[in-house]
A and B are shown apart, each in its own frame.
Chain A
């Protein structure tokens, strides 16, 4: 049968595994390039060398030291920045007066590229953790402000009227109507800020190099020309980013179950 003939190798790969094909193929080529001697450039270390470096980093505790220092900065920066963002976003979203007073300044500041602040921050706070956390907090701040403001401003007037009909007080209105109606948008902001803050943590460590952190691990690798360490650092950064992205998605799925995403069912 002609149709059966057309069932290619690709179609025999189970659907969930298809995403693995490309990285595994690259890994195989990488391994082969070293194993068959296609290249002996020091820029191309073997997968095995990276693996040994990983075992060494984990075993010696160096990874944990660097990672915990980075995650600590990331956590505080995220917490400070997103809480401040929630407050300002709620204010801008709820009050016309605040929007008129603060809005223009805020929208001007947000146009300035984040990395532009680094010289100023390092002059204010030095090259230590304070400057790095301040930078990470700024990365968290902007997306949370924008999405919180947008979420609160777009609470449907119809729902506010329902609250009035049933004599909701201000507290009831905020907790039972405004907060849940704005929640999906606020969540988007927090999710964005989680990702931005991890990028910013690495940026801060790389550009304000002092102390420990995954960014410093990468600098170490570069300076000593240890390609295996650089590659190991990249893998760790990627894995942490993956987890940071996956956790809120799972939480959101539970918390906002009332939103029907699968329109296709109807």
Chain B
């Protein structure tokens, strides 16, 4: 766990000015993420989950409250924090190898160390042999792997993922989720995944944070007490997923997706009684 970091968010508020009026986007966010933890954040669109990630990475500033990584208040971007966006955002004029090297361009490493790091990370994401390929020659899934390699190359303490697989087809998505889990396990890094895919959130997360919109708040946090590898078809998995869906649905959000909305509220999460829920 050499690169893991503790992220603590306390009393975070963020608002935008729209035509002279304050529009709250995030309200009273408190969240602590332990080193090496994988936290998924789900919520309907407009709940501010992407804004939260942009604040943590440092692309947005001007907030009230505190965001600290390893006790240090976050101001601006830093190589300690990596991010993978929904679109791969590779530079089309650079090969795979050079795109990954962008991640360590300003890292405190010698040229030889940089080359070695780039090689390692291309291998880590399973793209050995594609070093000289151009982005336009890659599939969506491969491009996202390169983006992950680029984000990890500087060995950040924490990796943020903003709906990284949202634009991929279902098969590729499932495969990359597996791969991401493997990378998380081998690197021992702290990860935060923002997604609207509840199944993905439960499959990967140690905890799932459910957010609600207008203004964006944390509604609840559910832990996922399932061992890896997780079986999406198992009853226990379905139980957690349904609990998350229930949390999302309780607030009457139309964007909550394939909402099952059981008539009775689950008083406590009793895995046994949820066997036939789907």
Q: Judge if B186 is at the interface, Cβ distance under 8 Å.
A: no
Closest to B153 in A: A166
Residues 155-168 of A, flagged 1 when their CB comes within 8 A of B and 0 if not, give 00011011011111
CB distance from A74 to the nearest CB of B (A): 31
Q: Judge if A71 is at the interface, Cβ distance under 8 Å.
A: no
CA distance A167 to B59 in the complex (A): 11
Cβ-neighbour of A164 out of B77, B85, B87, B137 (below 8 A) = B77
Interface size of B by Cβ–Cβ distance < 8 Å? 24
Interface of B is mostly: loop
Q: Judge if B93 is at the interface, Cβ distance under 8 Å.
A: yes
Q: Judge if B134 is at the interface, Cβ distance under 8 Å.
A: yes
Query: What are 19 A-B contacts with C-beta separation under 8 Å?
Result: A158-B85, A159-B91, A162-B91, A162-B102, A164-B58, A164-B59, A165-B83, A166-B77, A166-B79, A166-B103, A167-B77, A168-B106, A180-B91, A180-B93, A256-B93, A258-B92, A258-B135, A259-B136, A260-B136
CA distance A167 to B77 in the complex (A): 7
Residue of A159, A165, A181, A259 most packed against chain B (CB within 10 A) = A165
Q: Judge if A172 is at the interface, Cβ distance under 8 Å.
A: yes
CA distance A162 to B146 in the complex (A): 14
CA distance A177 to B105 in the complex (A): 13
B105–A172 touching, CB < 8 Å: yes
Cβ-neighbour of B59 out of A165, A172, A259 (below 8 A) = A165
Closest to A164 in B: B77
Chain A neighbourhood of B103, CB < 8 A = 166
B85–A258 touching, CB < 8 Å: no
CB distance from B90 to the nearest CB of A (A): 9
Chain A neighbourhood of B78, CB < 8 A = 167
Chain B neighbourhood of A180, CB < 8 A = 91, 93
A166–B102 touching, CB < 8 Å: yes
B79–A167 touching, CB < 8 Å: yes
CB distance from B7 to the nearest CB of A (A): 17
Chain B neighbourhood of A256, CB < 8 A = 93
CB distance from A263 to the nearest CB of B (A): 9
Chain A neighbourhood of B83, CB < 8 A = 165
Chain B neighbourhood of A259, CB < 8 A = 92, 136
Chain B neighbourhood of A165, CB < 8 A = 57, 59, 77, 82-83
